[in-house]
């Protein structure tokens, strides 16, 4: 029993150090199921690489808690420069107005909230889009500055959507009550690359006026709530930077979501309907 508990604690400690990034992007068919080849974030490194560790993909801001977020902090990780793709992890191929998903793992931030009592919840994801990205783009000039109308800040891009980090379904397999409840309610057959887990997703529709390449900045804003010890609270932000290749003209218009699909591939209805 003691040994089992020690192992459980070790697992929890490992989980609590892991943070999320965009693992995969997919395009939706008009029935709301993912189809075609996956795309990835810039500079993606294989999890199967023997030397892989989370810090190759994770981009945390501020970099140190003393400094806070500075005006020069880049929104993208240094390895996530524009167009940094490989044949193994290519960019997503889509079209103007395509419905797409950005998928990520929850790492216990949703199903084991007791690991992070200093957080009110699992936070919010903001997804910004631009046709004219720059490797110099800073977090402070974009996050909570670019707006839905494209008139914020320098006007080079816009806020496409903001979504709860917890999409209401996703889970990783663990013994916590939230995970167990969701394993029942959102049951699926284990399938790679998710395995038995159900990844989280942010679904959105690309704008209609995009050409050639469209870049997305995925910003997970997960602040520590103000407390006696930390009256101002504390910023904690993770980002992933993504390019989408716009390879054809508009292929389809309307989403007619079909309920009851295989959850390995299904989108989230509330995030997909009424978006045309
Ligand atoms: C591209 O990404 C790879 C993998 O993350 C990284 O090793 C490399 O330094 C990156 N190159 C550039 C120019 O950013």
Give residue-wise pLDDT tens across range 19-75: 899 999 999 999 999 999 999 999 999 988 999 988 999 999 998 777 789 999 999
Residues 6+ apart with CB under 8 A from 246: 94, 95, 96, 206, 210, 211, 212, 213, 214
Q: Is the four-CA dihedral 267, 212, 22, 67 of positive or negative sign?
A: negative
Beta-strand ranges (E) seen in the chain are 24-28, 34-39, 60-61, 92-94, 99-104, 124-130, 157-164, 200-205, 213-221, 237-246
3-state class (DSSP) for residue 54: helix
Residue predicted with more confidence, 50 or 276: 50
The alpha carbon of 34 and the centre of ligand 1 are apart by a number of angstroms equal to: 28
- Amino acid 2: pLDDT: 52
- Picking from 42-56, 118-132, 163-177, 237-251, which range would have the lowest pLDDT averaged per residue? 163-177
Distance of CA 169 to the CA centre of its chain: 15
Best probe residue, ligand 1, of 23, 40, 84 (max atoms within 8 Å of C-beta): 84
Residue 167's pLDDT band (cuts 50, 70, 90): confident
Residue predicted with more confidence, 216 or 230: 216
- Amino acid 63: pLDDT: 86
**Residues 138 and 72 sit within 8 Å (Cβ to Cβ):** yes
- The residue ranges of every structural domain in the chain are 2-275
Q: Against a cut of 0.75, is the pTM above it? A: yes
Nearest to 268 by CA among 187, 163, 169: 169
- Return the residue matching tokens 């914020």: 152
The alpha carbon of 80 and the centre of ligand 1 are apart by a number of angstroms equal to: 7
Q: What is the dihedral of CA 74, 75, 79, 80, to 10 degrees?
A: -140
Residue owning the nearest CA to atom 5 of ligand 1: 43
The alpha carbon of 245 and the centre of ligand 1 are apart by a number of angstroms equal to: 19
Residue owning the nearest CA to atom 14 of ligand 1: 79
User: What does the pLDDT look like over 221-242, one tens digit per residue?
Assistant: 999 888 888 888 889 999 999 9
Best probe residue, ligand 1, of 79, 89, 242 (max atoms within 8 Å of C-beta): 79
**Residues 188 and 263 sit within 8 Å (Cβ to Cβ):** yes
The alpha carbon of 103 and the centre of ligand 1 are apart by a number of angstroms equal to: 21
- Supply φ then ψ for residue 8, to 5 degrees: -60, -45
In a 13 Å sphere around the CA of 66, the CA atoms on its Cβ side amount to 0
Nearest to 271 by CA among 153, 133, 125, 156: 125
Pure H helices in the chain:
2-16, 177-185, 269-272
Cβ of 43 closer than 6 Å to ligand 1, yes or no, is yes
CA distance 129 to 23: 18
**Adjacent-strand bridge partners of 213:** 245
């Amino acid at each position: 029993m003691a040994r089992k508990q020690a192992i459980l604690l070790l697992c929890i400690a490992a989980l609590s150090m892991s943070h999320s990034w965009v693992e995969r992007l997919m395009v939706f068919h008009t029935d709301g199921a993912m189809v075609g080849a996956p795309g990835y974030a810039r500079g993606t490194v294989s999890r199967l690489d023997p030397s892989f560790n989370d810090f190759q993909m994770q981009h945390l801001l501020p970099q140190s808690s003393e400094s806070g977020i500075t005006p020069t902090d880049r929104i993208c990780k240094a390895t996530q420069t524009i167009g940094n793709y490989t044949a193994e992890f290519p960019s997503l191929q889509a079209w103007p107005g395509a419905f797409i998903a950005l998928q990520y793992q929850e790492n216990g931030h949703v199903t084991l909230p007791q690991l992070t009592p200093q957080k009110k919840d699992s936070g919010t994801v903001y997804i910004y889009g631009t046709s004219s990205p720059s490797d110099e783009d800073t977090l402070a000039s974009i996050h909570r500055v670019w707006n839905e109308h494209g008139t914020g800040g320098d006007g080079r891009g816009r806020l496409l959507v903001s979504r709860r980090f917890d999409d209401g379904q996703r889970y990783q397999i663990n013994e916590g009550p939230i995970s167990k409840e969701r394993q029942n309610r959102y049951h699926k057959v284990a399938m790679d690359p998710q395995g038995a887990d159900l990844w989280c997703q942010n679904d959105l529709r690309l704008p209609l006026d995009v050409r050639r390449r469209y870049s997305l900045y995925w910003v997970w804003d997960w602040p520590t709530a103000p407390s006696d010890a930390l009256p101002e609270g504390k910023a904690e932000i993770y980002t992933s930077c993504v390019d989408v290749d716009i390879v054809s003209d508009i292929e389809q218009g309307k989403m007619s979501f079909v309920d009851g699909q295989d959850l390995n591939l299904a989108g989230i209805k509330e995030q997909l309907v009424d978006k045309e």
